[in-house]
Amino acid sequence: MTGSGEEAHRAPGPLAALLIDASTEAIGAAGGHAGGIYLRSHTSGVLRLAVLAGLPGPLFKPWWRVHADRPFPVADAYRLGVQVVLPNATETMRRYPQFAAGLPFQFGSLYVPVAGASSTYGVLTVLRPAAADAAEVLPARERLTQVAEELAARLEDHRETVAWDGEPLCVRPPTAHPSGGRLGRFAWDPATGVVTADAPLHALLGVAPTEFDATVQGLAKAVSPTDAERVLAALQETAANRPPPSLPLYVRAADGGLRLMEFWTPDPDPGPAGSSRPSGAFGASGFSGASGTVGPSASSGASASSGAGVRPVRGFVLDPGPSAAGDAAADLLPEGVFCLDRLGLVAYANPRAGQLLHRPRDLLLGHSLWDGVPWLNQPDFEDHLRSALLSPDPVHLRVRRPPDPAQDSYEGDWLALSVYPGPDVLTCTVQPTSRMPGADEAAEGAAGGGADAAGASSLAPLYRPIVLAIALTEAVTARQVSAVVMRELLPAFGGRRLALYLLQDRHLFLAWESGFPPGFLAPFDGVGLDARLPGVETLTTGRPLFFDSMQQLSAAYPGIPLDATEGARAFLPLIASGRPVGSCILGFDRQRSFSGEERSVLTALAGLIAHAMEKAQRYESEAALARGLQQALLPRRLTDHPLVETAGRYLPGTQGMEVGGDWYDVVESGDGLALVIGDVQGHGVQAAATMGQLRSAVRAFALSDRPPDEVMSGTNHLLIDLDPGQFASCCYIRLDPVTGLARAVRAGHPPPLLRNADGSTRVLDLPGGVVLGVDAGARYPVTELQVEPGAVLALYTDGLVERPGVDIDDGISALRVALARAGTPATRLAGLADRLTTTARHTADRPDDIALLLATRRERRRRA
């Protein structure tokens, strides 16, 4: 049941059909105009868009894949298992600025996890009109939740194989305004070559049944004499179970009127009568997509190889009827008019539009706008088109039109474009205009460029610098900066390889690499600034270097080792505040050219990366000093006792630049031992200083053998007198090593755990009091308990059990289970402490510090 966009294009399977049905049902249930489903992929931590309903896929390519740890609504819904409701653009910008920077339009959105009993498969999302607040979309959220639950139940039986690794299926949701035109049906059996048509189709085509050429060629010519070859090819592709590029098929009748065709292959075993049905935009319940028809027939899983390799085809022809009069009127307008459906296909274009766009109407109708008018593949126009698809307001812009080689002259080089949104169709007007005020060379290059030498798409969206800048503000280590660049920069420009070098002692050292052959970059690690290499010279000269092909690179640097025979390379200097930081290498698998505007954007992005790397280097230096301070404040060794073994562990947080306030200690207290653990609120030098003062106070009270409640009350008063503007939690246990009697007190701290000698564990539910530093009159009740020989006490701070989106009680329960499984009672505490902190130790981004203190009583040796 594993699916991919490529597989679905060849032969859509049951997973594709199920997802499409769920997506379109969700759009209707939530009152949306577009939506889709993200599924987990086989790449760890990556979600892929499996279905996109109601929007053109190429226009939303930057959102085809999302990392689960990104600050995006779909990532939060998946990772945290929560519903995300964004009623309007204001709320979206407040909660998800990176996401809003890429789609700064007036729309609302809903995100509901598709979660089974034991696994989360993905996220169901719907884009809808903006609302005033979340309460207004509550009914829509409830209906969407029901759709997600039903989908999860369908996927539960195949949970191990549900994944998506390819491109999304782009499909049409049910039309908001069904057409009132005429419709006729037909069936074609490739085995006999016979086409049968119903009476409405004969009437629509104006051909008597006795005069109808009952062959597939005859049907194609009768439907559209001018597009007969295209109709015939699409029918043959469908019969071979290779869906044509897009359905429904837009064609022109002999009189020039618009006709739409839809066809599909029925189930080999249709089951109950009437179960086979069309799967296109005008079908009863299925839906067609840019990658082909996917509907109930697809769920059978039958392939084109069954039988003779072809299957019967059924379909219909739709004449929109009254719209033909509107088309005829629009044909006479002096301004250009063309219409797009919600997948970006041109449904209508008047003659003037074809003239102004420099494209004949037959090359526009039924084709995607990107294929029909390649030079409109401009970031500015694409951004406006996204706005029209997502928000209700019309958009207006001016674009530079390239010269028409077939004409010696034409009306002006600038066009005024307006796009008017509609539920099913976008209406566009185009007319000549004067040169755009303030237009510059970059705009001219962008308008005329189109695709690069390899056919790749033109300049990446210009909002990428904004998104990259926002993402880099959250990265504080060199590794995090590199990961952001990999995630944001490469996809924006179609790159496949990345290398980041940092300058240290006049040598460049490799900080990050991805996509290069294993070991290829090793010889370049640590090269000096006198080496004649493009990665070095881009830094020493401060000038970016661009090579359209590997041949260009080899010619400029003879003898340089190459990692591929094809491809392009960009070498960017990383310079911040006039200081060299390092260099960045971008690699592309195919040859391509870099426009002037693209070079400017990449150079600007390199500056952002350089500043982020400079900040990261400063952070790592400061963090090293801060960690040294933290370690100095913690005990060098724990107080030893013949009858008690103790072990402590401290793990600093890896997010943020400052030290924390967690601490633990073991102190002699009369003839017993005091076990202490605490956590000062906040981070930074102030938190560390407060921690040091509290640790000293607790030690002083413990050494004087004060009762546990007095120790806590005295420390509370001290913190209030110091008035640092902070509070702290603490747990204090005074243990008698001989009898095993323990007297415990707690101030707003997580409860300790006890593992008995038989391996059973429990949470010690101590009554406790409020945190220290808040209430001078606070009381801290004492709880007595017995600690048998071989039993283990575990004291910890919340960083060990708290995770975003997870209840802390669940974290404590998980720690209790880990304590029970971590080893036998005879296991030494040092090894046990290491096991309990293994997961945290291997977590790259720890949001908080972690402290752990373990203690166990030894068996008292009897004298012979």
DSSP for residue 544: -
The answer to which of 234-248, 288-302, 592-606 has the lowest mean pLDDT is 288-302
Residue 2 pLDDT: 35
The distance between the two most distant Cα atoms of the chain, rounded to a whole number of Å, is 118
* Distance, C-alpha 37 to centroid of its chain: 12
Residue 351 pLDDT: 87
Q: How many CB atoms lie within 10 A of CB 643?
A: 17
Residue 35 pLDDT: 93
Which tokens belong to 164?
């998506």
Residue 320 pLDDT: 66
pLDDT in tens, 714-742: 999 998 888 777 889 999 999 999 999 99
pLDDT in tens, 13-53: 678 888 988 998 999 889 898 999 999 998 888 899 999 99
Which tokens belong to 44?
């760890």
Task: Return the higher-pLDDT residue of 468 and 211.
Answer: 211
Residues written for the chain: 864
pLDDT at 787 over 50: yes
> Which helix or strand (DSSP H or E) is residue 120 part of?
strand 120-128
Q: Assign 409 a pLDDT band (cuts: 50, 70, 90).
A: very low
Cβ atoms of residues 86 and 1 within 8 Å: no
Residue 660 pLDDT: 67
Q: What is the chain's Cα-based Rg?
A: 34
Q: Assign 629 a pLDDT band (cuts: 50, 70, 90).
A: low
- Rounded to an integer, the average pLDDT of 830-851 is 80
Residue 608 pLDDT: 81
Residue listed under structure tokens 């494209």: 359
- Rounded to an integer, the average pLDDT of 418-433 is 86
Residue listed under structure tokens 């429990």: 762
Closest CA to 615 of 514, 497, 496, 484: 484
pLDDT in tens, 484-495: 877 777 776 778
pLDDT in tens, 524-563: 999 999 999 999 999 998 888 999 899 999 999 998 999 8
Q: Is 290 helix (H, G, I), strand (E, B) or coil?
A: coil
Q: How far is CA 82 from CA 79, 85, 126, 659, in A?
A: 8, 10, 15, 31
Alpha carbons 410 and 718: distance in angstroms, whole number: 85
Closest CA to 125 of 45, 50, 17: 50
Q: Is 673 helix (H, G, I), strand (E, B) or coil?
A: strand
Mean of all residue pLDDT scores within the chain: 79
- Rounded to an integer, the average pLDDT of 383-392 is 86
Q: Is 650 helix (H, G, I), strand (E, B) or coil?
A: strand
Cβ atoms of residues 124 and 23 within 8 Å: yes
> Which helix or strand (DSSP H or E) is residue 552 part of?
helix 550-556
DSSP 450-468: -S-TT----S--TTHHHHH
Task: Return the higher-pLDDT residue of 775 and 477.
Answer: 775
pLDDT at 212 over 70: yes
| Percent residues over pLDDT 70 in the chain | 78
Strand order across the 249-252 sheet: 194-197, 182-189, 313-319, 258-264, 249-252
* Distance, C-alpha 214 to centroid of its chain: 51
